[in-house]
A and B are shown apart, each in its own frame.
Chain A
Amino acid sequence: MYTQGLDAAGADARADSAASDDEAALLQRFQRRVDAEEKIEPKDWMPERYRSTLIRQISQHAHSEIVGMLPEGNWITRAPTLQRKAILIAKVQDEGGHGAYLYSAAETLGVSRDQLIDQLLSGKAKYSSIFNYPTPTWADVGAIGWLVDGAAIMNQIPLCRCSYGPYARAMVRVCREESFHQRQGYDIMLRLSQGSAAQRRMAQEALNRWWWPALMMFGPPDADSTHSSDSQRWKIKRFSNDELRQKFVDFTVPQAQFLGLTVPDPELRWNEAAERHDIGAIDWREFEQVLKGNGPCNAERLAARRSAHEQGAWVREAASAYAEKRRARGASRAA
């Protein structure tokens, strides 16, 4: 679904000013191309920090898609109708497809998928905080589609114009599918909100669970965001966290009203002068705790990914061994 730019700038954050004259010229040409809205392609020269920022962001995005299969996958076997089951399988399958697609985009920057997966499983790499929340009821599947995919779209539509070609192109396809996911989530919520008292309660409780975590998906407030300035200069990021969050709130509040649900924020007000919704304070301590691994499902999600990886090891080894045998047989036949 998307990335929050979660890692603090690392050892690779050396100052561009320390670069040699040659590099300075390359850097200037690079920035001119970015400013002219040209796409940067894998074989083009790029600053190391541009490369490492993109690897971090694209791989976090890929990991989020893969981990994101778990909370909704949790409901595939219990989906209430055959049509809902089919749609949910297709949706979760799309998320897996996005993950595979994004790992490939990251690989164009010189890392391997295996390295990236190792980083995820060792806990070194991050993924979106949102997937560390549980899906106890069917309404959570609706709320994820509506709010989480809705927030992802806000974040990803500008990424379709990201300066790095492979990422931008991946996002075009991903956004089309996310838009379908958002609609299916809203459709689940709509049906629940028109249903029995128990179903309406289920929908309201899911909104209560997902509203604040969805707002946190846009990342820390602009004042505290460590990555925004470089990313904006390089046209990886075109809007600030707070701008995107506001857009999401303004888009989503009327939808909640249409559903007859109450957004769980007593301070939520329409600000006539500013023509936007003002919201109450976000509990950033919760966000930090979830990022640190202390969210409700962090351990469970990572354990599920590790278990799938470990239990699949013999399968992957067999596939490699078989491919090797075939190569050897082909070679001996050719000889």
Chain B
Amino acid sequence: MSAAPAPPGEPALLRYLLRLGDSSLVLGQRLGEWVGHAPAVEEDLGLANIALDKIGQARLLLAYAGEVEGRGRGEDEIAFLREHGEYLNPVLVEQPNGDFGQTIVRQVLIDAYQLELYERLASSTDARLAAIAAKTVKETRYHLRYSGGWLVRLGDGTAESHARVQDALERLWPYTVELFAEDEVDRAMTDGGIAPPLAAIQAAWSVRIDGILDEATLVRPRDRPYAWFGKRGEHSEHLGYLLAEMQYLQRTYPGARW
């Protein structure tokens, strides 16, 4: 699978904002599936809360992306009316919820990444992005406290819970490679002082994850070289179903206002 190059003329900033916005959008969509079905009412509330923050982040980022794009598209046209390959989220966030353990593992991996990322984006040379990041970092700190707390409980809970989350970790770990696989968009962002270098985030992420896994008595899986490239629009089989559901009303009633 070779990575598709950015369409000619499409600014790197736009692609970068779509990566950030789509990450929040798709993860928020996944977490929304849980509401009403969680292991306890407190977890319904906790997961709903994170979903809500994610949708809020997506709105800010996609609205900004629409302005950068300059074709008059608002947050909803971008969120609901693009095609599969135009979504630029990492493949990790579109992975199905699985059991509560798998959802928590996915959340820890992405929360730790986003915490390191948004802490640095808060001092971006792009003032608008810096402001969004300042808000997002506060939310993400709470999200990681929630997901990390649960991973420790599940990892160091019963033999069954330990086995389940270790298994989820093995399953999801390969998708983390993409988070740190730098491409020309990332380089353009770094060169412009808009975003931090991914290598710096990777090192900090790795330390943070090791700390949580250690407390959770879980074993860090071996790295594998293969990288997905959701951030270039190359997705797993799961995204199509998610989009079909999310886009249903907008696609069925074109032009309707809701």
Contacts and interface: CB of A to CB of B under 8 A. Distances in A.
Interface stretch (B119-127, B178-186, B246-254): B246-254
B40 interface: yes
A97 interface: yes
Contacts of A73: 35-37
B35 A196 contact: no
Interface string A15-59: 000000000000000000000000000000000000000000000
Interface string A66-80: 100110010011111
Interface string B144-185: 000000001110111011001000000000000000000000
Given A318-B153, A322-B152, A85 B37 contact: no
A89 B52 CA distance: 6
Interface in B26-52: 28-29, 32-33, 35-45, 48-49, 51-52
A82 B59 contact: yes
B168 to A, nearest CB: 13
A191 B89 CA distance: 32
B99 interface: yes
A80 B186 CA distance: 32
B158 A81 contact: no
Contacts of B51: 76, 89
B59 A199 contact: no
Interface in B184-198: none
B249 A80 contact: yes
A66 B42 CA distance: 11
B157 A322 contact: yes
Contact of B153 (A69, A76, A79, A319): A319
B36 A97 contact: no
Given A199-B253, A318-B154, A96 B41 contact: yes
A196 B256 contact: yes
A322 B32 contact: no
A314 B35 contact: no
Given A199-B253, A317-B161, A99 B41 contact: yes
A307 B164 contact: no
A162 to B, nearest CB: 23
Contact of A304 (B37, B45, B154): B37
Nearest to B58: A82
A314 B160 contact: yes
B250 A80 contact: yes
A317 B258 CA distance: 43
Contact of B44 (A69, A86, A314, A321): A69
A297 interface: no
A90 interface: yes
A321 B160 CA distance: 11
Contacts of B256: 80, 195-196, 198-199
Given A69-B35, A89-B35, A318 B52 contact: no
Nearest to A310: B39
A196 B55 contact: no
Nearest to B59: A82
Give the interface SS of chain B, mostly helix, strand, loop or mixed: helix
Contacts of A138: 249, 258
B161 to A, nearest CB: 3
B253 A198 contact: yes
A191 B258 contact: yes
A103 B164 CA distance: 30
Nearest to A313: B39
A55 B51 CA distance: 33
Nearest to B45: A96
Contact of A82 (B39, B79, B253): B79
Interface in A73-122: 73, 76-86, 89-90, 92-93, 96-97, 99-100, 103
A121 B62 CA distance: 42
A85 B36 contact: no
B153 A191 contact: no
A97 B42 CA distance: 8
Contacts of B39: 308-309, 311-313, 315-316
A198 B75 CA distance: 24
A325 interface: yes
B35 A92 contact: yes
Contacts of A317: 157-158, 160-161
Given A73-B35, A78-B248, A82-B76, A92 B48 contact: yes
27 contacts: A69-B36, A77-B33, A80-B249, A81-B258, A82-B55, A82-B59, A82-B75, A82-B76, A82-B79, A90-B52, A92-B35, A93-B49, A93-B52, A96-B35, A96-B48, A191-B258, A196-B256, A198-B256, A308-B38, A309-B39, A314-B158, A315-B161, A316-B39, A317-B157, A318-B154, A318-B160, A322-B154
Interface of B: 25, 28-29, 32-33, 35-45, 48-49, 51-52, 55-56, 58-59, 62, 75-76, 79-80, 99-101, 152-154, 156-158, 160-161, 164, 245-246, 248-250, 253, 256-258
9 nearest A-B pairs in the assembled complex, by CB-CB distance: A312-B39, A318-B157, A318-B161, A73-B36, A80-B258, A93-B48, A69-B36, A315-B39, A80-B249
Interface of A: 66, 69-70, 73, 76-86, 89-90, 92-93, 96-97, 99-100, 103, 138, 188, 191-192, 195-196, 198-199, 304, 307-309, 311-319, 321-322, 325
